[in-house]
Structure 1
Amino acid sequence: MNKIFEVPAYAYERSPDQDSVNTVRHKVIVIGAGPIGLATAIDLAQQGVEVVVLDDNDKVSFGSRAICFSQRTLDIADRLGAVRPMVDKGVQWDKGKIYFHNRQIYEFDLQPDTGYAHPAFINLQQYYFEMALVERVRELQANGAPIEIRGRNKVEAIGTHDSHVTLEVVTPEGPYNIEAEWLIACDGASSPTRRMLGLDFEGQVFEDNFLIADVVMEADFPSERLFWFDPPFNRGQSALMQKQPDNVWRIDLQLGWDIDREREKRPENVIPRLKAMLGDDVDFELEWVSIYTFQCRRMERFRQGRVLFAGDSAHQVSPFGALGANSGMQDADNLCWKLKLVIEGKAPELLLDSYSLERAQAADENITKSSQSTSFITPKSEMSRLLRDAVLDLSARHQFARPLVNSGRLSTPCTYHRSSLNSADALNGPEFTRPGSACPDAPLGDEFLLPKLAGKFTLLTIDADAPDRIEEDGVEATRLALSVKDDVTLDLKRRYLGDATSAVYLIRPDQHVAARRDTYEENAFRQAIRRATGKE
């Protein structure tokens, strides 16, 4: 098997900063070369913003960790130029099956609709995702983009100031100091950055533990999400199994609260559990084992002056539902265009507060989903368990009960319905493309819509007139003119027009709707640009 997590991906090299007489200041420093840190750095570099990534490691992650990546994450990775190796390697799936005891009670389809460039979900070990991003960094560097990864550069101290942030960094060749105009902490759930600044999470740690095992085996199980409530091989608990590339299967087994975590991770204790699930006749190899505790927590604010937090450093949810890494990718997607405008002087620093507010809303939604899933998966009283089991029994025979079954609400993009960046809705159009929504994809002949909306403000017109470009306070929006006459599948009409006969949308660089009207009205869209950039 390809053990890419054993080989340095960004080996230590001495930086000129270490030999400089004066402390060097960079535009942006990102701490953490995981998926969110790398995605953030790539996004900024593609926009011409100079960025340095510091990580105390020099390899991609060991173990599968985050494995389930949503369509929205793939859309973002497409914009970052990293999606193709992910989709080529990943296991695509859109169906799931739910079991109660030893019987299947129903199955679901996450994407019964068509007309999207990317699948509903892929399963892919986190180390492959990180490697795709590292390779994209190398491509950008070869083309002269201002991006650098410094492996085995551990940040030991941080000082915050009105105009910059200071960092003390330790390397194999000794310490050095460095400065950043802006610091982005993507250093995980235990975030040393958060600790050094005296900050903490708010939220709840639930009383349950789950065993995660990466199992290498050749098996005939389908490429679907398989979830069991109270199975015969794990009585009174739950289990989850999903396929990954390289014949690696991810298995999650609920263990309960009062356990010896180190003892449960030992192979002599893990293997009997897996044999009980898979059968004695199935040959498998144990590749990686971990134990996690349900946690639903977040920081109060994701911006602390010139320090911004993204991904697990800002918020935590339980793994069921694939809410963690996918939400972190949306953090990066939300943050980078705003930071670029602030750095260029085209938007006030207050625009960055909207990053915290919008992504805190997303975190709260995910925490609610995760908390509800936890309550259903791990009932806290006998009455709760009886009610849960009644719902499971009913769902085998009755459609109405199936939405009540909660084995983890899967990741969906957040609609920023409370955002101050939204303009009032002036189109009687579809609910899922109202201001604040993430734009859904749609086929455009042999191409797709979302790549044409990436990384810039866009005036999307559908059977409506508008200028080819409009500039307001240094921010430009360019027109993309479409017509339902060319909409063979009718997906564009259904997703963006509804019952309206024409529409004009202002789309943000992160492909979220800022404003929409039935026709172009210049003053309204100029005001929408000002509002979307934090000037109103």
Structure 2
Amino acid sequence: MQKTYTYPEYAYEQSDEQRAGVLKRHPVVIIGAGPMGLTQALDLAQRGVPTVLLDDNNTVSVGSRAVCYAKRPLEIWDRLGVGQDFAAAGVQWQVGKVFFRDELAYRFDLLPETQHKMPAMINYQQYHLEERLVRACMDAPLVDLRWKHKLLAIEQHADHATLTVETPDGIFKLEAQWVIAADGANSDTRRMIGADFSGQFFQDRFLIADVVMKADFPTERWFWFDPPFHRNQSVLLHKQCDNVWRIDFQLGWDADPVEEKKPENVIPRIQAMLGPDVDFELEWVSVYQFACRRIDQLRHGRVIFIGDAAHQVSPFGARGANTGVQDCDNLGWKLHAVLAGNAPLALLDTYHEERAFAADDNIGHSTRATDFITPKSRSSLRLRNAVLELARTEPFARPLVNSGRLSTPTPYVTSSLNTPDSEPFAGHMRPGTNCADAPIERNGEAAWLLNQLGQGFVLLSFGSATPVSVGGVTAQVLEVGKDIIDRAGVLTERYDALPGTVYLIRPDQHVAARWRTFDPTQAQAALARALALQ
């Protein structure tokens, strides 16, 4: 059915260790070369950690699948060298509209303020995104990407895991100090480990149809409740690349998934929505039931879970892939510090602490959106419709409308790695929060703050400061007014920076601590705490 994309086929190659029949131990083996596995491999490679990345297939994902990518994941990918490519190739948007029946209920803007490098959101088919990530991994000397390698079994030991892998040339074993499971919602690794997955499946079904057409819809997210062309249900419309449009139809729990995917049933639904004179072709169709759930522990011994292998949410709000990329961002620097001997295993346990907290936050948002979109009682439906009616004219009702709260980062406000504020600050940059970007100058040229962060710990100083060290880790100083220039004043405003203010920034661009004046003893203690050494 695919008309706008030709799937690449990547060559299987026998590894040297399989050819020689030698059992080799690797620092990190990643299972699954989807968006999360590829991103995690790039992150670790950038930090100097070699990885072996195994995938049982030899192409990218079939169908557009994940489509919407938010500003924070784009910033993470920008650190890895691919974010600008994604932003340029994807369909950028920031305005959404919600319709009730045949009238506009309200509109929203995801990025009302300017002066950010990355857009609020892009729509970009997953196969395009994966193909670019594959190319980046193939260009990275520290990433060993192996196609047609299927994990059959995993055996854990005190300091490593042994993996049994099947290839076209037979079965062999390899060892890993750490295994990262990025093999999706139906994770074989999770099953092999026996890890529990708790949460709920929702009793509803949705049809995804990717449609090729030339239409004059604006580049916005449109969501309908009870539209005239699909009564008593909901519909979502997004523009993608290549004149492809994503349309989601709520079907109801009684719908037959096999029947609903047939073109003779899909096409009349779309024609009713678009009108009789609009020509289109089907690109990809799927029917899904979704769940909101997560794994009990994100680390099981030597195996660490990321992305859909660790947690699942409904597609409303684009929280699945966006959350998974932030898993990679959180895990990479911690695993690097542990492998380098600069941090204890306790630092890896904070991966679960922080990302399970974020997963639960996303599951909560996703569950509330689902309850609003698919009311399960007559009273819930009445309340939902009343909110939509009021939203047309009453501003107080608009925040209550929930067609899927679009993905935003979850601050790690309760993290044990944070050093709490001891002095008052205004604004959003409290410990545990990802850094806001800002335009700056460096070496006389225009630049962005986030491009100066992310390789190690940094003391972002609005006055004099000196580097501090704990063991083999040093927090280098980035001084505003000396190393970088805040000519527009945006950086100073966003960080509520009085003269002398200093921030300790983690390698994942999150605030670990902040003070109004620099004290090396306090900074060193905060660095030790951020490494789980205190």
Same fold (TM over 0.5): yes
Give the aligned partner of residue 151 of structure 1: 147
Give SS of 1:40's match: helix
Aligned residue-pair number: 528
Residues 76-117 of structure 1, C-alpha deviation per residue, up to 9 Å, x if partnerless?
Answer: 000111112211210000001110001112211111101100
Give the aligned partner of residue 526 of structure 1: 524
C-alpha distance in 2, partners of 1:5/1:433? 44
Give the aligned partner of residue 21 of structure 2: 21
CA drift of 1:493 comes to 2.1
Identical amino acids, percent of aligned pairs = 54
Give SS of 1:207's match: coil
CA RMSD across the alignment: 1.4
1:466 and 2:465 equivalent?
yes
C-alpha distance in 2, partners of 1:218/1:318? 29
CA drift of 1:486 comes to 4.9
Distance of aligned partners of 1:383 and 1:27 in 2 relative to their CA distance in 1, 3 Å threshold? same
Residues 147-175 of structure 1, C-alpha deviation per residue, up to 9 Å, x if partnerless?
Answer: 11111111011111111111111111111
CA drift of 1:491 comes to 1.8
| Contact 1:296–1:316, Cα closer than 8 Å, also in 2 | yes
1:188 and 2:184 equivalent?
yes
Give the aligned partner of residue 413 of structure 2: 417
Equivalent residue letter for 1:346: N
Equivalent residue letter for 1:340: H
Residues 173-216 of structure 1, C-alpha deviation per residue, up to 9 Å, x if partnerless?
Answer: 11111111100000000000001111231101111111111100
Q: Which moved more, 1:224-233 or 1:290-299?
A: 290-299
Equivalent residue letter for 1:447: A
| Contact 1:204–1:296, Cα closer than 8 Å, also in 2 | yes
| Contact 2:427–2:496, Cα closer than 8 Å, also in 1 | no
Give SS of 2:215's match: coil
1:276 and 2:272 equivalent?
yes
Give the aligned partner of residue 402 of structure 1: 398
CA drift of 1:2 comes to 7.6
C-alpha distance in 2, partners of 1:519/1:20? 59
Residues 313-372 of structure 1, C-alpha deviation per residue, up to 9 Å, x if partnerless?
Answer: 000000010100000000000001000010010000111000011000000000000000
Q: Which moved more, 1:484-493 or 1:337-346?
A: 484-493
| Contact 1:5–1:127, Cα closer than 8 Å, also in 2 | no
Give the aligned partner of residue 83 of structure 2: 83
Give SS of 1:432's match: coil
Give SS of 2:245's match: strand
C-alpha distance in 2, partners of 1:530/1:244? 45
1:7 and 2:3 equivalent?
no
Give SS of 1:447's match: strand
Work out which of the residue numbers 251, 254, 264 in structure 1 matches 2:250: 254
C-alpha distance in 2, partners of 1:534/1:489? 36
1:161 and 2:160 equivalent?
no
C-alpha distance in 2, partners of 1:234/1:21? 60
Residues 36-90 of structure 1, C-alpha deviation per residue, up to 9 Å, x if partnerless?
Answer: 0000001111111110100001111111111100000110000111112211210
Residues 378-413 of structure 1, C-alpha deviation per residue, up to 9 Å, x if partnerless?
Answer: 111111111110110000011111000000011111
| Contact 1:465–1:519, Cα closer than 8 Å, also in 2 | no
Equivalent residue letter for 2:97: K
CA drift of 1:488 comes to 3.9
Give SS of 1:477's match: strand
Work out which of the residue numbers 514, 517, 528 in structure 1 matches 2:515: 517
Give the aligned partner of residue 48 of structure 2: 48
Q: Point out 4+ residue stretches in structure 1 off by more than 4 angstroms.
A: 1-5, 483-486
Give the aligned partner of residue 199 of structure 2: 203
Structure 2: gaps spanning 5 or more residues:
none
C-alpha distance in 2, partners of 1:71/1:26? 33
When normalised by structure 1's length, the TM-score is: 0.96
CA drift of 1:435 comes to 0.4
Q: Which moved more, 1:422-431 or 1:206-215?
A: 422-431
CA drift of 1:6 comes to 2.0
Give the aligned partner of residue 490 of structure 2: 491
Residues 215-236 of structure 1, C-alpha deviation per residue, up to 9 Å, x if partnerless?
Answer: 0001100000000000011111
Give the aligned partner of residue 482 of structure 1: 480
Give SS of 2:428's match: helix
| Contact 2:138–2:145, Cα closer than 8 Å, also in 1 | no
| Contact 2:160–2:176, Cα closer than 8 Å, also in 1 | yes
| Mapping 1:426-437, distance limit 5 Å | 426-437=422-433
Distance of aligned partners of 1:130 and 1:427 in 2 relative to their CA distance in 1, 3 Å threshold? farther
C-alpha distance in 2, partners of 1:211/1:189? 19
| Contact 2:464–2:500, Cα closer than 8 Å, also in 1 | no
| Contact 1:426–1:518, Cα closer than 8 Å, also in 2 | no
Give the aligned partner of residue 504 of structure 1: 502
Equivalent residue letter for 1:40: Q
| Contact 1:5–1:59, Cα closer than 8 Å, also in 2 | no
Give the aligned partner of residue 119 of structure 1: 119
C-alpha distance in 1, partners of 2:224/2:53? 41
When normalised by structure 2's length, the TM-score is: 0.97
Structure 1: gaps spanning 5 or more residues:
none
Give the aligned partner of residue 136 of structure 1: 136
